[in-house]
Chain A
Amino acid sequence: MRRAIGLLSLALSAVLATTSTSHAQAPKEVVIGAIYPLSGNLAQIGIDSITAMRMAVELFNGKSDLNLPGMKKTTEGLPGLGGAKIRLIVVDHQGKPDVGQAEAERLITQEKVTALIGAVFSSVSATTSQVAERYGVPHMNGESSSPTLTERGFKWFFRTSPHDGHFTLAMFEFLKDFEKKKGVKLKTVGLMHEDTLFGADSGKVQEELAKKYGYEVVVNMAYRAKTTSLDAEVGKLKAAAPDVFLPTSYTSDAVLYIKTAKTLEYVPRMLIAQNAGWVDPQFVAEMNKDIEGHITRSPFALDLQAKKPLIRQVNELFKKQKDNPGGRDISEAPTRALTAFTVLVDAINRAKSTSPEEIRKALVATNVPADQLLMPWTGVRFDEKGQNTGVRAILQQIQKGAYATIWPFDLAAADVIYPLPGFKDKK
């Protein structure tokens, strides 16, 4: 018996010895878990985002001279970790918070990921980040815009993108600027938002800011996401007739709104969308003339590539990706994912370790300059809540079938079309 115990402890110490030595050595690979919607209503956005991140993994694992965070280097792999390679594990959350939660749990406990990134839907990011917080694993987010996410005082959650507080502020700043510049008077706003966390938070902050900026909210309605009919909603809008209409909808409902508004002939004087459906490239292509003059908030603009050659370089690479059939231009969603992902990898590289605490410290110390970003931001620096403080929102308008930047006026590539032209092919 005593001999058995002796053998056992010997074996145990041997195991401990090997683990401790392997820990001291730099790991050969860094595993990152990406939780995205790959089926369901936002599947294409998820697929495009994964394509952008896979492209970044290839660049990080090889050599690259792209001026993205941590990417410009002459050696293969991550130099801070002795050339370690990145392995991306991609999972599908189907747009469901419970699935996201289970997948986050599995990625952390089974796949032993170093960090998580995701999850587009604010409602899903809310649950995945809770899991990450519990296990003490860094969770990066580049898309979810619900302000609540960074108001929870989480230690492990970081968001590169502006939230709907920033975006909505931009909308009302724009309205004030616009009224002054054009000498028009806009008095009332109408709100319509879907009923998940994204829509609910957007509606809440829009209502608050409208009051603060002196606009009367004449209609404010939540609707069931993925609905089969928006007849009642558009009916209410027609009855209330706000000057400015602010919708918050994912693609399916955005398509339905346009179709219904066209049938019922509802045209507000101005429409400013809370992103989402309105920036889906397929939505823009399909709706074409019917959304001429629609405005959306955005953190990214392809038409800024004249001022930022980096955008063109990345776009050329993106168009050549094999998972990007038809060579579509990089759009808003993959750009946001790419930004968040490169910031995360850069922090892991600077941490020179896969220890969660070291990575967290490196993330807190993040200071990415504006010239390494595809976005028109002043940089990436996280506040104590994990929110990037260098964000800047821009507004874009559909002009001749493509988005043109119209605000801030100093970045503008085009003048504002006002009022909305309405539906062209009337019968």
Chain B
Amino acid sequence: MTAEVLVQGLVSGLLMGFVYALIAAGLSLIFGLMEIVNFAHGEFLMGAMFATFWAWALLKLDPLVSLPLTVLLLALFGLLVYHGLIRWILGAPMLAQIFATFGLAIFLRAAAQALWGADFRLVKGPLVDGRISLAGIFIGLPQLVASVGALCAFGLLYWFIRKTETGLALQATSQDRQAAMLMGIDTQRMFALGWAIGAACVGAAGALLAMFFYIFPDVGATFALLAYVAVALGGFGNVPATLLAGVIVGIVEVLGGLLIAPALKYAVVFSLYLVVVLWRPQGLLGRF
């Protein structure tokens, strides 16, 4: 194993980690806000990827051009899911909430296959394609753009949550629902907003991912699993921590594969997760 291969692995893992983090951000936000785990999160991602694909295939829009549209579409879809499903199960037992989002996941996956077939699709010849080479290290340009895009999205999200009044209201709702209500915050509106933003994040991730990953009804499942790990690793509901956790997952995945064995790379990721959860059940940067 040469140093070059290791550095290459680190770079690839880092780039992929940013994308994992952005996928996990939406999940983390929703959980922090209302303590509901969205099991259909991977299918939201799949939806965003298909939206990007169809914008490219039918309207000849490049993934980067259609990205704002995809984000908007997913935000609307998030609202729809909140008002159509989640709102009705807020007070329900946890098991009912799990079944509701899990059922939604199965429905979305089956619907995608029924509508668009079971073929693997690819966005061919995107605006940003190919790769650059720096001192023998290859960096895929779509991956690079996706990482930068993910970081920008994180910046925006952070700014929105920490600096705007609505963002502060969102935080207040997440910290103490009752108190927020007493302060005159419309928590229902905040919940809906949380779903819209959460879905928008995964929309951005899907659009960026579609530049270099295959698109398929089942594609979300694998990413969702890593997103759950990132959320728990970083700390439930802590959005910046999710960024750190996503990057850790991305890097550990590649290094585990290179240094131990590819067959065990997810074992390494999940072992790390177990260790962290045992040592700090609240996650790396979780406060409570």
* With A231-B12, A232-B9, A263-B138: A221-B262 Cβ-Cβ less than 8 Å: yes
**Mask of A237-260 contacts with B, CB within 8 angstroms, 1/0:** 011000000000001100110010
List residues of chain A with CB within 8 A of the CB of B129: 427
Query: Which single member of B16, B133, B213 contacts A231 (CB below 8 Å)?
Result: B16
For the complex, give the distance between the alpha carbons of A107 and B235 in Å.
Answer: 47
User: With a CB–CB cut-off of 8 A, which chain B residues contact A263?
Assistant: 131, 138-140, 143, 212
Asked whether A265 and B138 contact (CB < 8 A) given A39-B113, A228-B222, A255-B122, the answer is: yes
B9, A231: Cβ atoms under 8 Å?
A: yes
The contact of B257 among A44, A231, A252, A262, by CB within 8 Å, is: A231
Tell me, in angstroms, the Cα distance from A265 to B130 when the chains sit together.
Answer: 10
Interface positions, chain A 254-307, Cβ under 8 Å from B, are 255-256, 259, 262-265, 280, 282-283, 286
State whether B138 touches A282 (Cβ < 8 A): no
> Does B217 reach chain A (CB closer than 8 Å)?
yes
User: Does any Cβ of B come within 8 Å of A222's Cβ?
Assistant: yes
For B12, the chain A residues whose CB sits under 8 A away are 229, 231, 235, 264
Q: How far is the CB of B109 from chain A (nearest CB, A)?
A: 7
How far apart sit A47 and B114, CA to CA, in the bound complex (Å)? 12
Within 8 Å of chain A (Cβ to Cβ): is B253? yes
Closest B residue to A200 by beta carbon equals B263
Q: Which residues of B contact A63 (CB under 8 A)?
A: none
Query: Is the C-beta of B256 less than 8 angstroms from some C-beta in chain A?
Result: yes
Q: How far is the CA of A192 from the CA of B261 in the complex (A)?
A: 11
User: Which of A223, A224, A232, A427 has the most C-beta atoms of chain B within 10 angstroms of its own C-beta?
Assistant: A232
B129, B222, B256: most-surrounded residue (chain A CB, <10 A): B222
A200 to chain B, nearest CB (A): 10
Q: Are A238 and B5 in contact (CB under 8 A)?
A: yes
User: Are A44 and B118 in contact, CB atoms less than 8 angstroms apart?
Assistant: yes
User: Which A residue's beta carbon lies closest to that of B259?
Assistant: A232
Kindly state whether residue B216 has any CB partner on chain A within 8 Å.
Answer: yes
A251-B120, A259-B212 are known contacts. Are A232 and B253 too (CB-CB below 8 A)? yes
A216 in contact (CB, < 8 A): no
Tell me how far the C-beta of B120 lies from the nearest C-beta in chain A, rounded to whole angstroms.
6
Contacts of B226 in A (CB 8 A): 228
- In the complex the two chains form, what is the Cα distance from A55 to B9 in whole Å? 49
B282 on interface, CB distance cutoff 8 Å:
no
Cβ-defined partner of A222 (8 Å) among B120, B138, B263: B263
Alpha-carbon gap, A38 to B214, bound state (A): 19
Most buried by B among A224, A233, A425: A224
Expressed in whole angstroms, the minimum distance between the Cβ of B288 and any Cβ of chain A is 30
Q: Quick check: is A109 within 8 A (CB to CB) of the other chain?
A: no
- Assuming the contacts A222-B262, A256-B214, asked whether A235 and B8 have C-beta atoms less than 8 A apart, the reply is yes
For the complex formed, measure the closest distance between the CB of A190 and the CB atoms of chain B, giving whole angstroms.
12
A28 proximal to B (CB < 8 A): no
Please tell me which one of the listed residues A39, A227, A251, A427 contacts residue B109 in the complex, with CB atoms under 8 A apart: A39
B124 at the A/B interface (Cβ < 8 Å)?
Answer: yes
Asked if B1 lies at the interface with its beta carbon under 8 angstroms from chain A, I say yes
Q: Is A329 an interface residue (CB 8 A)?
A: no
Q: Quick check: is B223 within 8 A (CB to CB) of the other chain? A: yes
Residue of A whose beta carbon sits closest to that of B143? A263
- Please name all residues of chain B whose beta carbon is closer than 8 Å to the beta carbon of A236 when the two chains form the complex: 5, 257-258, 262
Interface flag for B266 (CB, 8 Å): yes
* CB atoms of A231 and B254 under 8 A apart: yes
Evaluate contact between B217 and A39: CB separation under 8 angstroms: yes
Interface size on A, residues (CB 8 A): 41
CB pair B258 A282 closer than 8 Å: no
Taking a contact as CB atoms closer than 8 A, the residue among B13, B219, B266 that contacts A224 in the complex is B266
- A192 to B219 CA separation, bound complex (whole angstroms): 22
Picked from A43, A229, A325, A426, the residue with its CB within 8 Å of the CB of B130 is A426
A47 to B162, CA, bound (A): 50
Q: Is B68 part of the binding interface, using a Cβ–Cβ cutoff of 8 Å?
A: no
B142 to chain A, nearest CB (A): 9
Cβ of A248 to closest chain B Cβ, rounded Å: 13
Q: Which of B131, B217, B253, B261 contacts A229 (CB 8 A)?
A: B253
In the bound complex, what is the Cα–Cα distance between A47 and B262 (angstroms)? 31
* A238 cross-chain contacts in B, Cβ below 8 A: 5, 8
Contact B5 A239 (CB under 8 A): yes
In residues 187-204 of chain A, which contact B (Cβ within 8 Å)?
A: 192, 195
A427 nearest in chain B by CB position: B130
Partner of A44, one of B20, B117, B263: B117
B176 adjacent to chain A (CB < 8 Å): no
Q: Are A232 and B258 in contact (CB under 8 A)?
A: yes
Residue in A closest to B106 when the chains form the complex, CB atoms: A39
Chain A residues closer than 8 Å to B2, beta-carbon distance: 239
User: How far, in angstroms, from A142 to B223 measured CA to CA in the complex?
Assistant: 33
- A286 to B255 alpha-carbon distance, docked (Å): 30
On whether A282 and B140 interact (CB within 8 A), knowing A232-B258, A232-B265, the answer reads no
Asked if B277 is at the interface of the complex by the 8 Å CB criterion, the answer is no
A330 to B14, CA, bound (A): 42
Structural contact, B120 and A286, CB atoms closer than 8 A? yes
Residue of A nearest to B256 (CB): A232
Assembly CA distance A233 to B5 (angstroms):
11
B265 to nearest A CB, angstroms?
6
C-alpha spacing A235/B124, complex, angstroms: 24
Contact partners of B139 in chain A: CB under 8 A: 263
Question: 14 A-B residue contacts at CB 8 Å?
Answer: A39-B109, A41-B216, A43-B113, A224-B265, A229-B13, A232-B256, A252-B219, A256-B214, A263-B131, A264-B12, A265-B131, A286-B120, A286-B122, A427-B129
Top-5 shortest CB links A-B: A232-B257, A43-B118, A427-B130, A231-B12, A263-B140
4 A-B pairs besides A43-B118, A252-B219 with CB distance below 8 A are A221-B262, A228-B222, A235-B9, A262-B131
